[in-house]
């Protein structure tokens, strides 16, 4: 009997690793397939940007040739990457970078300050203000866009960088994100600094802000993507190419009669690079922010 038990146990020991092994292969295969599905549009975009015939790009779509280029050329990039002329995409790219830097830079300061005050400030009716901030989040941007257009035109700031930065600096979502992060930090930190005589602003700047790298990274990335992809707003509030971002410039390639896929793809690749760089720069803290929020009780 004992021999039988022993032999069964040995069998189980042998089977277990092989079962896990095949499961891992299946898992890996699934991950690879999913990764391929996710990456394939980007790959198609990049490959198409290296083709100089827009009709060929159209003809190749829907077949495996969409992922292959026999005579790669950088002519599309040369054409859209210039800084002068009627279609100065280099200029538009710079405009987008200025808008991105302005929105994220001011946004981090304003939203983190608001979040900190809501978490630790001695305001009366803090809970009510917080509820209002959350309530604001559910109002769709589309419903306020026309009144906002009237406001900025009356303020005389249309066709400027400011009109594309200022309205989007304060955001209920990011205020709430900062609030949530600051509120989770230990109360002792705040009290110890107070005992040492630090002002509320000093506590925010010297203690809480340096500890909030994951929140700063998360907001930077989300806010950056939002600012980078703004399309309708710049169309409505800008008249000339002085402050127009690249997303609007790319729309030029989608004409009434034809779509210039070759140049649109090259411009899209160029447009992708800065936001990808932002993500890579902040990725470590971005991920840790999500992991942190998931494991905290």
Partner 1 sequence: MGKRLLSLLMASAALGGFAEAKTVIHVMHQGDPGWVATYGDVAKRFEAANPDVDIELIYAPHDAYNEKFSAAVMAKQLPDIMELDAPFLANYVWSGYLQPIKPLIDQDVLDDMTESNIAQGTYPADKDLYAVGLTDSSVVLYGNRKYLDAIGARIPKGVDDAWTREEFEGYLEKLSKLDGVKWPIDTFRGYGIKTEWITYAYGPILQSAGCDLIDRETWKSVGTLDSDACVEAMTMMQTWVKNGWVVPQSSGTNQFFAEGHPAALAMGGHWFYAEAAASMKDDVVVMPLPKFGPQGASPNGTWIWGITTASENPEVAGKFISFMLKDKQFRDYARDDSAYPGLKSFAADSPLYDTGGPMAVAFEQASKTAVARPPHPAYPIITSAFMGAVDEIFNGGDVKAALSAAAEKIDEDIEDNDGYPPFDEQQ
In angstroms, what is the minimal distance from the CB of 55 to partner 1?
6
Calculate the CA 150 to chain-centre distance.
28
The verdict on 61 binding partner 1 (CB under 8 A) reads: yes
Q: What are phi and psi of 196, to 5 degrees?
A: -75, -5
Q: Rounded to an integer, what distance in angstroms lies between the CA atom of residue 79 and that of residue 75?
A: 6
Span interacting with partner 1, options 25-33, 61-69, 210-218, 289-297, rule CB under 8 A: 61-69
Size of the site for partner 1 (CB under 8 A): 35
Span interacting with partner 1, options 57-65, 117-125, 132-140, 209-217, rule CB under 8 A: 57-65
**Sequence-distant (≥ 6) Cβ neighbours of residue 142 within 8 angstroms:** none
Residues 229-248 that bind partner 1 (CB under 8 A): 231-232, 235-237, 239-241, 248
Span interacting with partner 1, options 107-115, 116-124, 228-236, 280-288, rule CB under 8 A: 228-236
Place of tokens 């009109």: 163
Dihedral (C-alpha) 165, 170, 172, 177: value to the nearest 10 degrees? 100
The verdict on 75 binding partner 1 (CB under 8 A) reads: no
Q: Rounded to an integer, what distance in angstroms lies between the CA atom of residue 86 and that of residue 172?
A: 38
Report helix, strand and coil shares of the chain as percent, to nearest 5. 75, 0, 25
Span interacting with partner 1, options 7-15, 18-26, 56-64, 179-187, rule CB under 8 A: 56-64
Q: Which residue's CB is nearer to partner 1, number 112 or number 262?
A: 262
Q: Rounded to an integer, what distance in angstroms lies between the CA atom of residue 9 and that of residue 119?
A: 57
Place of tokens 């299946």: 26
Residues 34-53 that bind partner 1 (CB under 8 A): none
List of residues contacting partner 1 (CB under 8 A): 55, 58-63, 65, 85-87, 146, 149-150, 153, 158, 231-232, 235-237, 239-241, 248, 251-258, 260, 263
């Amino acid at each position: 009997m004992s021999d039988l038990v022993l032999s069964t146990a040995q069998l189980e020991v042998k089977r277990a690793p092989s079962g896990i092994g095949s499961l891992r292969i299946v898992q890996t295969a699934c991950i690879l397939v999913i990764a391929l599905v996710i990456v394939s549009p980007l790959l198609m975009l990049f490959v198409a940007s290296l083709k100089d015939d827009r009709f060929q790009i159209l003809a190749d779509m829907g077949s495996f040739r969409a992922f292959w280029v026999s005579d790669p050329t950088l002519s599309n990039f040369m054409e859209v990457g210039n800084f002068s002329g009627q279609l100065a995409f280099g200029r538009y790219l710079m405009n987008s970078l200025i808008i991105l830097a302005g929105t994220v830079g001011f946004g981090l300061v304003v939203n983190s300050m608001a979040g900190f005050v809501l978490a630790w400030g001695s305001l009366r009716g803090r809970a009510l203000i917080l509820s209002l901030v959350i309530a604001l989040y559910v109002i769709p941007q589309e419903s306020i866009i026309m009144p906002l257009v009237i406001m900025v035109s009356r303020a005389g700031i249309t066709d400027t960088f400011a009109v594309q930065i200022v309205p989007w600096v304060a955001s209920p979502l990011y205020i709430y994100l900062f609030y949530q992060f600051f509120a989770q930090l230990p109360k002792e930190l705040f009290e110890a600094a107070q005992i040492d005589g630090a002002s509320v602003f000093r506590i925010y700047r010297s203690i809480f802000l340096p500890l909030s790298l994951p929140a700063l990274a998360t907001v930077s990335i989300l806010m950056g993507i939002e600012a980078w992809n703004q399309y309708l707003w710049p169309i409505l509030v800008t008249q000339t190419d002085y402050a127009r971002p690249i997303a609007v410039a790319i729309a030029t390639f989608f004409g009434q009669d034809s779509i210039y896929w070759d140049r649109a793809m090259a411009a899209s690749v160029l447009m992708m690079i800065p936001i990808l760089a932002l993500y890579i720069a902040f990725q470590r803290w971005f991920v840790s922010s999500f992991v942190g929020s998931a494991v905290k009780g």
